[in-house]
């Protein structure tokens, strides 16, 4: 199986867009500050934009689609017709596992970051209480998701390339055996015919 440029373009594009969205999510994390309520003696948290949650979920979805496309084309390495046993097969297996590890890590960071960023606390206590803080997402969660998305991209490209080199489609491995057998039978028939004439 040869490397398909359209499939490669789709996988790379989806990963890169997911990376950009994850970086955007990190930069647009929701911020909050404590303000007193004008009607009673309680305080509440005022939060900024929730754009980070939307970016994180969009990156999560794009990464999921990219992984689905790649594993659909390669049949998840397990359900193909056959791979030639060589260095490309070993490389394909290693990067298949590595791409799944980085994919799961990136998805976990993006989903957890989006969920935490969407969580808003409202009232925190009586006005004047010290050490009040509003719940916000810790810095670096979406950045970790972005980094793992890039690693997943590299692993996916190498896995797809190695799988394409090792994939036989179940035919190429036995091609020469069939040709040799047919030639051998043909030669025997010719020799038998010549002996019959003699």
111-165 pLDDT, tens digit each: 999 988 888 766 555 555 555 567 788 889 999 999 999 999 999 999 998 888 8
What φ, ψ does residue 41 adopt, rounded to 5°? -100, 40
Going through the chain in order, the beta strands assigned E by DSSP cover: 32-36, 42-47, 123-126
Q: Are strands 32-36 and 123-126 parallel, antiparallel or unpaired?
A: unpaired
**Percent over 70 (pLDDT), the chain:** 71
Range in 5-19, 77-91, 171-185 the model is least confident about? 171-185
What φ, ψ does residue 139 adopt, rounded to 5°? -65, 135
The pLDDT, as a whole number, for residue 51 is 87
**Percent over 90 (pLDDT), the chain:** 41
Over residues 16-23, the mean pLDDT reads 97
pLDDT in tens, 169-194: 544 444 444 444 444 455 555 555 55
Q: Find out whether 32 and 134 touch, Cβ atoms under 8 Å.
A: yes
Q: How confident is the model at residue 108 (pLDDT cuts 50, 70, 90)?
A: very high
Sequence-separated contacts (24+) of 100-106 with Cβ below 8 Å:
102/148, 102/149, 102/151, 102/152, 102/155, 103/63, 103/67, 103/148, 103/152, 105/144, 105/148, 106/18, 106/22, 106/63, 106/145, 106/146, 106/148, 106/149, 106/151, 106/152
pLDDT(168) > 70: no
Distance separating alpha carbons of residues 60 and 80, to the nearest angstrom: 27
The pLDDT, as a whole number, for residue 180 is 47
Cα 160-147-149 angle, rounded to 5 deg: 35
Over residues 35-63, the mean pLDDT reads 84
Distance separating alpha carbons of residues 79 and 45, to the nearest angstrom: 52
Over residues 20-42, the mean pLDDT reads 83
């Amino acid at each position: 199986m040869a490397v398909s440029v359209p499939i490669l373009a789709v996988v790379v594009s989806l990963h890169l867009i997911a990376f950009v969205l994850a970086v955007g999510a990190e930069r647009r994390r929701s911020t909050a500050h404590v303000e007193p309520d004008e009607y009673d003696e309680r305080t509440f948290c005022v939060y900024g934009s929730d754009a980070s949650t939307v970016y994180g979920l969009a990156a999560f979805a794009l990464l999921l689609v990219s992984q689905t496309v790649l594993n659909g084309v390669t049949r998840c390495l397990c359900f193909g017709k056959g791979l030639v046993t060589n260095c490309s097969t070993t490389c394909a297996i290693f990067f298949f596992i590595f791409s799944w590890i980085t994919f799961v890590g990136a998805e976990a960071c993006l989903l957890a970051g989006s969920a935490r960023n969407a969580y808003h606390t409202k009232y925190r206590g009586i006005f004047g209480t010290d050490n009040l803080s509003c719940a916000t997402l810790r810095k670096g969660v979406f950045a970790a998701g972005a980094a793992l998305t890039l690693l997943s991209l590299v692993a996916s490209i190498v896995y797809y390339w190695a799988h394409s080199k090792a994939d036989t489609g179940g035919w190429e491995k036995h091609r020469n055996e069939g040709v040799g057998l047919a030639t051998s039978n043909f030669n025997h028939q010719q020799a038998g015919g010549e002996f019959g004439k003699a």
